[in-house]
Amino acid sequence: MAFKKGQSGNPKGREKGSLNKSTRENNERIDKVLKILSKTLEADLKALPEGERIKTWLALCEYRNHKLSRSEIAVEIDDPFELSLSDDQLQKLIKAIVQPTNGKPA
């Protein structure tokens, strides 16, 4: 008997959004290693040159956090070289970030 599209053969299966076993185990291993290294990790990172420190941090983040999809936000600002924004310009920018043109929250 074939399953209907979108229906599982196990209605009491894993909850939507829960991590699968390998992802959960990988996160646990990383957490364990970071806990062991935590005493020296901060000092080790600070000892790296700034560019290497940023690359290392970004590389570590990829293992822990999901990559977010990019979205473009277009906001017209009268003078892009002005260092301060008026209240109106700031509100336009906040509105564009919170509710981009595709209608989905950022």
CA distance linking residue 92 with residue 71, whole number of Å: 17
Could you report the per-residue pLDDT of 37-85, keeping only the tens digit for each? Answer: 877 878 888 898 988 888 888 887 777 666 667 677 676 766 666 667 7
The answer, yes or no, to whether residue 35 has pLDDT greater than 80, is yes
pLDDT value, residue 80:
62
CA distance linking residue 61 with residue 56, whole number of Å: 9
CB 96 within 8 Å of CB 73: yes
What is the reported pTM?
0.34
The answer, yes or no, to whether residue 27 has pLDDT greater than 80, is yes
Position 106 confidence tier, pLDDT thresholds 50, 70, 90: very low
